[in-house]
Structure 1
């Protein structure tokens, strides 16, 4: 109860310090009404307040101004969402309502789907997004398999890009933050043929030195990045019934994600990392070859919308490529050259991995006319994915250097038929019914060679295997929606989620990993209430949910040859239940307040312990990792119009997260205590001249925290977030 009082107290106080995180249209200049928010959560545009789905909406420009420019930072604004930071982009995971898949295997799909301009991203590593030219982001909470597919069994990250304008326009925005973080964007938009062809192009450059010091000779800063990207979009409207959208995008990223020593219980380990000292606020490492990870994401898509007699036929054709190369280490001492730092207990390791992934997808949808007794969306979907990876591990234990090399790949084909309908039973009552059939075909091959015939630290002997599987799956949604009044509606839904079969294909794959995992299914019940009041000066959205997962696909930690390894297994049954509340208020035209809070109880109901497991499996009733019970976000913005035509904006936000366990096996060393982060900003702008300049302060209370803790024998390491300490920056934008 003590934590409950804290969160509600923080929410109440924070409601005085909040501003809108919604992607709002501009309200009337002299009106205090909250503008309507349009979302595509039902695969057709509708008001946020009308859709019977729990949705959070984030404005792209507002996120950029707050220096939240990637997936790991935007989750701070959505209490139901958390993010797992790991060594590289292909190891990162999004969790919604406490549910996510932790695995580096290309043979398993994500639990939370990422969809960008209608295109499904098959691998979570592809979603290393920078907010290049984003209009807004919709986060759909809970199973969304009916309309969004099999890898949306916990939620969807739906990214909507900005459309070209009819009038010729452009912008340049730039920002600089302490730590030598720089970001520049420029864009141009307008008509090529008025009324028929419009186009837009946006380019990005961003880099950051990092906030971790490498004390090794000539080491410098690590845990930074540099990104370069461009996005081009052409909209063609040859007549009033036909729209064609062509999009090409590219994003290249180089980063040095670094885990630092958080705790040491071993004298040899402490000696190995010297002069670095393990501590909760340590931001130093001692490594001769820092982590270096590069990603190249690129894609082409074509969307055609044809309208006839009130019906809309939509076709989305897309191809995407993702290349990833990583140089990392599985040891906290890196690939140390100094022999005195290396021992059999703490060898120096070097991992070199490559990923070449490509996908092709085709979706067809037919949407019926609106305002009919039966409104529906039906469609078909196909996705082909092809993955090729290599992974080499070099281990130096002070006496010898040994290594292993694996070459493996996965092919997948997924076919779906789906449909969802809304039936207007009466003026105030609507029924929702939808279903999806999915067929998955999955195959893999794997070859590993090794310098040793027996296992040594982090490397298994040579092996060769392959396999294939095929499964049919079903998902769907049933529900009722009732208009309590003109400004209040309630809904109750049941959703069935499905995630396809999987293989645990990875560097240290063993013969026990050759069997396909069963598909993961979920059954979710949700009650929701959406309301507006006081002439739209207040909106409130409440959702209560209870979801149970069977054959949950999770990583089980095991010990082989003295090293911790992961095994992807059907872990058993887990569940998540809780409540979410989103409030937006605009008591006067100048002041906008928002507050969001989520209570999530995600726990293990029945854990299936694998045969001959080396680790303990007494996990029933324990919390799932990366699922704090309480999380909240509040923000305020006050916009004051000056007599000289300028506008000054004051803003502040506060995010709170309760105690979080990062380890499935409940290690007491992998717990982050409750913490809160305060940010603020002040901006001066000229609406008529189109310029804006702002001063931004991040983590004003200077609170150090972690986004992940990893336990190993004798030590614990932590991921260091960008705002692990207080910093300031300045941003500027000019529209023309």
Structure 2
């Protein structure tokens, strides 16, 4: 084992010792968490989707909810792991956390442009998190995770036009408890997590949680002969609950999270796109060794591995890494009012910082350009709401929400030495030098938003309810951007590498978006455990500004809106032994905000990509036919269609797709290889028709002893889908399935557990996302033609390991 990995293990063991050192020793007899004994049957999950605690089966929304115990059973350590368990949920990550995207019902904007915001809102303990990156962080000591599918424009508001994810951590209590969990796996993975909590005084309780998780590289880089895609995560959370009297509760939460990755997980997926520079593709084309460009490179740089990477290899000069730091704090004061309602004031601040220097375009064994990017976001929110107890003829939720954030984004693109070898004056010959030329971008955006809202439920009878809600949102954004080009002495501006951002430029902008979102619906209890519902709802995401260049036209993009119609049924049968939930929906999205690569390949721009409709069916079932066996199955079928307004998007002329040639038109995103294309009538990117998961768990006593053993497995998959916003045919990925399993033993008291686990056990190689090659126009096609490189970001290979946990 390397010294570096040994140090990681020592650090992780020290972290576990620190967690144990903080235990409430001497605070009374040890206690441990257990699932309530219901005499058998499926565990009931309590959710806060409608701002009050409710049984998930009594809420007329499409929700997938998991308790903390269920997450631990399934080996879920991040929200991203839920993607294979939740119908129509997809989570993508490329080269950094900022570029993550959450997709629900085949809709979700990528974060490749800092000026846009997600389509799916993430809420941690009721606080909106303005970026999607935290979905890859650890979720330790969790009470519930709720995935709400469909627009949540009334109770949640901005940036939830297709759904929301609620993450609720466990609250402190007077009962002392603690847990430590240690895992070791292949790729030298070491994960240590734990928590401790209990009473401090008669009316004050506290809870601490901490985690560290690290592994060495999943991939081998042929360029450096070293592993890449290393990862380190660590963080902690503190909670205090003060109850000065029986009607008042004050909660304080503070957290810190750090995530870093080292190296790239991107490979070339088109064997001809880069004109012979490198092929991340098998089998190797017959023309590979005959390329004049490659012959010239081998002659001058014989140590460069101009070879085809294998299944889990990359060939990149990119010393890329990504570092993400998040911290935040919130204070919530709740007061029980004398008329059966609760008044809550929630004040929070969150800070996010991401830094990712990448030698772009990435996945090539040449230092063509260094692209350093960083962004900082500081956000403040305050929500004042009143919620009735849900036991009256008229029940209600009403509130006033305020949000403000400040975003700073900086990027610096510098031409490196490898660019010389990519501009041949003749085939295989060096071109003019532009090394050192730079383009610098500074973007600043400030957002202020406020919204009053209400939702009312009329309990017409014990079995029939009518629901209606409204929210008025006002969002104001102001921004400025400057692009400066620096050409060092002796470099000509008109050579092969001329920054497409153009001359030095500065832009400012201001937008004011107003929206009235609504929902109405009805619920009917066919039987006490069978509820049917129908809803219509709308959603809204505010507009914004392009952050990548001061000459992108248009600088601003419009708001995105959604409209959803849904009917569903939620039911439990046979004394809670069988759960069956089903919903059918039709969702219309207008002015969808989509990220598109700029034609010259120097960045991404956001624009409104037209309108589309998604319609389909989702189901979620659980069964416990006998006490020892638990089964689950979920899935979705969704038909996606672009319906109009998408005849002005950029695409690659060299690779016409689906028989739809680009029309002869010009525009701000047009160059020698790119033009406008007509996407109307086509499908959406990241839109598999089928998404499914089946699993089971068998748990049985070991003879007559006080121990039980268990075995569990989960098989999940999806059908084919395009993984690039331009629907480039190279991005069409076939359907695939992933297998995970675990085997373990634990005492019936639940005080400890030991298990073996594995994920992606068949070692399936697949991509999470794809994109056109950045700086593609500056990469020579063997000295004769512009390049059209295409990159894919690999998902994790097979991982396996052992886990031991102990509860105090």
What TM-score, normalized to structure 2? 0.83
Contact kept in structure 1, 2:45 and 2:67, CA below 8 Å:
no
Greater shift after overlay, 682-691 or 108-117?
Answer: 682-691
Matches within 5 A, 1:463-478: 463-478=505-520
* Residue 617 of structure 2 is aligned to residue 609 of structure 1: no
Specify the alignment match of 1:462 in structure 2.
Answer: 504
2: distance between equivalents of 1:236 and 1:458? 58
2: distance between equivalents of 1:540 and 1:190? 37
Deviations 1:411-457 (A, max 9, x none): 00001000001111223211010000000000111111112466726
1: distance between equivalents of 2:64 and 2:359? 37
Among residues 537, 540, 545, which one is paired with 1:503 in the alignment?
Answer: 545
Specify the alignment match of 1:233 in structure 2.
Answer: 239
Specify the alignment match of 2:341 in structure 1.
Answer: 311
Among residues 444, 449, 454, which one is paired with 1:419 in the alignment?
Answer: 454
* Residue 441 of structure 2 is aligned to residue 429 of structure 1: no
* Residue 276 of structure 2 is aligned to residue 267 of structure 1: yes
* Residue 562 of structure 2 is aligned to residue 512 of structure 1: no
* Residue 397 of structure 2 is aligned to residue 391 of structure 1: no
Specify the alignment match of 2:174 in structure 1.
Answer: 166
> C-alpha displacement at 1:590, in angstroms?
1.1
Among residues 313, 319, 333, which one is paired with 1:284 in the alignment?
Answer: 313
Among residues 324, 330, 352, which one is paired with 1:295 in the alignment?
Answer: 324
* Residue 483 of structure 2 is aligned to residue 448 of structure 1: yes
RMSD of Structure 2 on Structure 1 (CA): 2.1
> C-alpha displacement at 1:511, in angstroms?
4.9
- Distance change in 2, residues 1:689/1:474 (3 Å): closer
Contact kept in structure 2, 1:393 and 1:459, CA below 8 Å:
no
Among residues 627, 643, 647, which one is paired with 2:708 in the alignment?
Answer: 647
Q: Which runs of 5+ in 1 are unaligned?
A: 1-23, 342-346
Contact kept in structure 2, 1:260 and 1:282, CA below 8 Å:
no
Deviations 1:296-340 (A, max 9, x none): 100000111100121100111001111111111331355x6xxxx
Deviations 1:255-296 (A, max 9, x none): 1342123332132344479636446x6322233442111111
* Residue 389 of structure 2 is aligned to residue 369 of structure 1: yes
Contact kept in structure 1, 2:137 and 2:233, CA below 8 Å:
no
> C-alpha displacement at 1:193, in angstroms?
0.9
> C-alpha displacement at 1:76, in angstroms?
1.6
- Distance change in 2, residues 1:74/1:329 (3 Å): farther
2: distance between equivalents of 1:101 and 1:727? 29
Specify the alignment match of 1:717 in structure 2.
Answer: 791
1: distance between equivalents of 2:538 and 2:788? 43
* Residue 693 of structure 2 is aligned to residue 633 of structure 1: yes
1: distance between equivalents of 2:251 and 2:171? 9
Greater shift after overlay, 59-68 or 323-332?
Answer: 59-68
> C-alpha displacement at 1:492, in angstroms?
0.6
Contact kept in structure 2, 1:660 and 1:672, CA below 8 Å:
yes
Specify the alignment match of 2:218 in structure 1.
Answer: 211
Among residues 540, 555, 565, which one is paired with 2:580 in the alignment?
Answer: 540
* Residue 359 of structure 2 is aligned to residue 329 of structure 1: yes
- Distance change in 2, residues 1:241/1:349 (3 Å): same
Greater shift after overlay, 307-316 or 603-612?
Answer: 603-612
Runs of 4+ off more than 6 Å: none
Greater shift after overlay, 700-709 or 649-658?
Answer: 700-709
Specify the alignment match of 1:224 in structure 2.
Answer: 230
- Which SS does the other structure have where 2:158 is aligned? coil
Contact kept in structure 2, 1:132 and 1:231, CA below 8 Å:
no
Contact kept in structure 2, 1:81 and 1:96, CA below 8 Å:
yes
Deviations 1:218-274 (A, max 9, x none): x52111210110100001111111111100000011113421233321323444796
2: distance between equivalents of 1:313 and 1:681? 44
1: distance between equivalents of 2:70 and 2:498? 50
- Which SS does the other structure have where 1:72 is aligned? helix
Among residues 586, 595, 599, which one is paired with 2:624 in the alignment?
Answer: 586
> C-alpha displacement at 1:92, in angstroms?
0.8
Among residues 598, 605, 608, which one is paired with 1:570 in the alignment?
Answer: 608
2: distance between equivalents of 1:276 and 1:110? 39
- RCO comparison, higher one (Cα < 8 Å, 6+): 1
Greater shift after overlay, 159-168 or 535-544?
Answer: 159-168
Contact kept in structure 2, 1:443 and 1:468, CA below 8 Å:
yes
Contact kept in structure 2, 1:105 and 1:503, CA below 8 Å:
no
- Which SS does the other structure have where 1:49 is aligned? helix
Contact kept in structure 2, 1:692 and 1:734, CA below 8 Å:
yes
